[in-house]
């Protein structure tokens, strides 16, 4: 399975180039291992029983949600954050947000995690305790689980998800690098996140691993990433967006992934609620265009173009706000 090769490349880069005193390093490592391990088990079941069922959707979603809940609790619960900080060697994440023209304020892990930044808008939405805190927790779970499964759904044509992941990871690597540079972050009036350069290093490794894998995964593909690679890469993108507080921006940069996931939701919903009527010829939507007569390579390249344009728009939102 090609996904094992991708994960191996990522782990080598992590061990060689990333700071082991950073909480971001540990979170990304655990994300890769958990999501990749879950996908590997799913692939194993498919190969063993020689069918496409694998792990049931309910079990898969439940395990993904459980991991996402752990990430959310680490960011949102000071007691959990401090407990892990005392038991380990890495400091909890912190950020600096521009408050006035003359000064900046240091944000704790919980304070920065409770902020929601909207693309093209300078001021964030700030959530507080109570019901709103619970909504943020559920939103984090939704982003991570949704991102992981959206990439998995997109992995249906040779090279399609590999190229799109490469564009999305490249865009977020740039954002992570900028967020770790206090002067640039101050100039762009975005959140400065101390140590987010480690996220940039890991996402750059994702770009490199995807590029190398694409050599063999492009049409006609010789190797496939399977759920091992797609769940891991999607999970890394989702967790990175959460750590960088760019969850909504992921919806723009990963717009093709969103489109693929929505096409499946609409298709299933229409089939069940409209007496087996379908919205698309086939879902996910890349198969719809295949059924319309588009060659596979044409579908992939056009989706790549759309993914690249959305990545550029996503980066541009940092300035045009």
pLDDT in tens, the chain (321 residues): 689 999 999 999 999 999 988 999 999 999 999 999 999 999 999 888 877 778 888 999 999 999 999 999 999 988 777 777 666 666 788 788 764 444 566 888 888 899 999 998 888 888 876 678 889 999 999 999 999 999 999 999 999 999 999 999 999 999 999 999 989 998 888 899 999 999 999 999 999 999 999 999 999 999 999 999 999 999 999 999 999 999 999 999 999 999 999 999 999 999 998 888 899 999 999 999 999 999 999 999 999 999 999 999 999 999 887
pLDDT score for 87: 61
Find, among 16, 40, 38, 18, the residue nearest to 28 by Cα.
Answer: 18
Helix (H/G/I), strand (E/B), else coil: 105: strand
Q: What is the CA radius of gyration of the chain?
A: 20
Query: What residues does 201 pair with on adjacent strands?
Result: none
Find, among 97, 153, 147, the residue nearest to 124 by Cα.
Answer: 97
Q: Evaluate whether 193 touches 75 at the Cβ level (below 8 Å).
A: no
pLDDT score for 100: 44
Q: What distance in Å separates the CA atoms of residue 39 and residue 122, rounded to the nearest whole number?
A: 38
Task: Kindly tell me the sign of the dihedral angle through the C-alpha atoms of 258, 264, 268, 273.
Answer: positive
Query: What residues does 104 pair with on adjacent strands?
Result: 98
pLDDT score for 128: 72
Q: What distance in Å separates the CA atoms of residue 8 and residue 19, rounded to the nearest whole number?
A: 18
Token pair for 234: 């999607």
pLDDT score for 101: 40
Find, among 250, 251, 285, 290, the residue nearest to 268 by Cα.
Answer: 285
Q: What distance in Å separates the CA atoms of residue 52 and residue 170, rounded to the nearest whole number?
A: 32
Q: What distance in Å separates the CA atoms of residue 265 and residue 242, rounded to the nearest whole number?
A: 23
Token pair for 58: 């309910």
Find, among 144, 147, 115, 118, the residue nearest to 132 by Cα.
Answer: 115
Token pair for 243: 């750590």
Other residues' Cβ atoms within 10 Å of the Cβ of residue 242: 23
Task: Note the helical H segments in the chain.
Answer: 2-17, 23-49, 57-76, 78-87, 109-113, 131-154, 160-179, 182-188, 197-217, 226-243, 247-253, 255-273, 285-291, 296-316
**Tokens 């999970």 map to which residue?**
235
Domain residue spans in the chain? Answer: 2-251
Q: Evaluate whether 172 touches 253 at the Cβ level (below 8 Å).
A: yes
The reply to whether the predicted model has a pTM over 0.75 is yes
Other residues' Cβ atoms within 10 Å of the Cβ of residue 307: 25
pLDDT score for 154: 97
Element (H, E) at 192: strand 192-193
The Cβ-side half-sphere exposure at 43, using a 13 Å CA radius, reads 20
pLDDT score for 43: 93
Find, among 39, 47, 70, the residue nearest to 231 by Cα.
Answer: 39
The DSSP letter of residue 100 is: S
Q: What distance in Å separates the CA atoms of residue 144 and residue 67, rounded to the nearest whole number?
A: 9
């Amino acid at each position: 399975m090609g996904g094992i090769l991708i994960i191996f490349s990522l782990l080598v880069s992590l061990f060689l180039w990333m700071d082991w005193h950073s909480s971001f390093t540990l979170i990304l490592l655990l994300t890769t291992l958990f999501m990749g391990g879950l996908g590997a088990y799913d692939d194993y079941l498919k190969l063993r029983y020689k069918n496409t069922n694998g792990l049931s959707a309910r079990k898969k979603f439940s395990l993904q949600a459980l991991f996402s809940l752990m990430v959310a609790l680490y960011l949102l619960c000071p007691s959990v954050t401090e407990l892990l900080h005392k038991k380990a060697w890495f400091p909890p994440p912190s950020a600096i947000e521009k408050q006035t023209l003359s000064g900046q304020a240091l944000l704790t892990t919980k304070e920065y995690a409770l902020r929601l930044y909207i693309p093209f808008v300078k001021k964030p939405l700030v959530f507080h305790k109570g019901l709103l805190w619970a909504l943020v927790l559920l939103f984090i779970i939704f982003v991570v689980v949704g991102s992981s499964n959206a990439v998995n759904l997109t992995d249906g044509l040779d090279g399609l998800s590999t190229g799109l992941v490469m564009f999305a990871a490249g865009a977020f690597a740039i954002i992570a690098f900028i967020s770790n540079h206090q002067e640039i972050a101050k100039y762009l009036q975005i959140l400065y996140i101390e140590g987010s350069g480690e996220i940039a290093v890991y996402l750059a490794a994702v770009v490199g691993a995807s590029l190398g894998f694409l050599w063999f995964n492009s049409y006609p593909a010789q190797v496939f990433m399977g759920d091992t690679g797609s769940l891991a890469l999607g999970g890394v993108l989702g967790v990175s967006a959460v750590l960088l507080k760019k969850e909504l921006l992921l919806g723009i940069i990963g717009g093709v992934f969103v489109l693929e996931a929505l096409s499946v939701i609409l298709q299933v919903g229409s089939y069940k609620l409209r007496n087996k009527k379908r919205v698309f010829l086939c879902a996910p939507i890349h198969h719809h265009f295949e059924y319309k007569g588009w060659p596979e390579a044409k579908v992939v390249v056009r989706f790549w173009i759309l993914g690249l344009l959305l990545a550029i728009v996503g980066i541009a939102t940092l300035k045009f706000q």
